[in-house]
Amino acid sequence: MAQPDASPMIERAFRLVLPRKRSSCAVFSSPHSGRRYPPSFMARVVLDELRLRSSEDAYVDRLIEAAPRFGAPLLAATYSRAFVDLNRAASEMDPAVVHGAPKQPTNARICAGLGVIPRVVGEGREIMSGKITLFEAESRLARGYRPYHNCLARLLTDSRDRFGEAILFDCHSMPSEARRAAPRMAAGPPDIVLGDRYGAACAPWVFEAAHAAFVDAGFRVARNAPFAGGHITQYYGRPSQNTHALQIEIDRAIYMDEANITPNPGFDAIRDRLSGVLDALSRLRNPGQAMAAE
């Protein structure tokens, strides 16, 4: 597939690829595909490389790399999710990981070891022994978390200012085993799970159009189960303020060898099918605004 017709901009915390001409109100993000593991972090890790990488949304940034060709920016993390999790609130610090973490109400994610500074990766494997200091935790946020979110917020504001609407497509991958928790479908388990926080994060026209785009491309699609959307979807999705957010989960088994974390023989075909979906998503416009304009 041809390279995106776009101009790349490299940052330490993220990779931003801007289209040559911004023609879409959509923004595509990949917060969990980062593959950067700082040496100081690796010195304390107790897992081998494959187990450490099991929480990555590996290659999702490559699956959606065509987005700038269709007039929409693409923002992808460079730091690994095991280092700092961009899909958590900055306040979700696990006291079992961070010495001196501020006291706050706990939640299921923190209890499971999946706070903003994760304690575990896939299947509950401990990343390191002992704790890190609050200073180190804050340094990770300053290094990887805040630059990413600052950039994402600017992109969405720019979309809203230019087009009157902003649509964030937050792209992830899910382990194939997660399909067991998905609703039963006559055609088989879902390839894609769309999460809109049960209707709270985007307007119905956004969800329906996205659902149709994936179905038209031959994907089986489920809604909100087992993934309804994380912090990014919840935080940025403000339909009443013309900012919509939809989480997209892609079954890893359809594009990669999960055991070895390598693209499988079907990778290019899935990427090409997704390219058509990206095109359709980039063309979305509020039908109400279109009618008003007419």
Q: Write the DSSP string, 185-202.
A: -TT-S-SEEEE-TTTTSS
Can you give the pLDDT at residue 124?
A: 87
pLDDT: which is higher, 15 or 104: 15
Confidence of residue 12 (pLDDT cuts 50, 70, 90): confident
Domain residue limits at 244: 6-293
Number of independent structural domains in the chain: 1
The answer to whether residue 215 is domain-embedded is yes
Confidence of residue 103 (pLDDT cuts 50, 70, 90): confident
Confidence of residue 185 (pLDDT cuts 50, 70, 90): confident
- Cα separation, 226 vs 220, in Å, equals 14
Contact between 174 and 227 under an 8 Å Cβ cutoff? The reply is yes
* Total Cβ atoms within 10 A of residue 245: 28
* Total Cβ atoms within 10 A of residue 113: 18
Structure tokens belonging to residue 195: 């999460």
CA distances from 70 to 67, 154, 284 (A): 5, 19, 11
The answer to whether residue 146 is domain-embedded is yes
The answer to whether residue 24 is domain-embedded is yes
The answer to whether residue 219 is domain-embedded is yes
CA angle 161, 235, 105 (to 5 degrees): 155
pLDDT digits (tens, 9 = 90+) for 143-154: 999 999 999 999
The answer to whether residue 99 is domain-embedded is yes
Average pLDDT over residues 279-292: 80
CATH number, domain containing residue 255: 3.40.630.40
The answer to whether residue 241 is domain-embedded is yes
pTM of the model: 0.93
Q: Write the DSSP string, 198-238.
A: TTTSS-HHHHHHHHHHHHHTT--EEESSS----HHHHHH-B
Instruction: Name the E strands within the chain.
Output: 6-10, 14-19, 26-30, 74-77, 98-99, 120-121, 125-126, 132-133, 166-174, 192-195, 221-223, 243-251, 256-257, 262-263
The answer to whether residue 235 is domain-embedded is yes
Q: Which residues of 249-269 are buried (b: 16+ CB within 10 A; e: fewer)?
A: bbbbbbbbebeebebeeebee
pLDDT digits (tens, 9 = 90+) for 56-96: 999 999 999 999 999 999 999 999 999 999 999 999 999 99
Contacts for 210 with CB less than 8 Å, ≥ 6 apart:
169, 194, 246, 248, 281, 284
The answer to whether residue 1 is domain-embedded is no
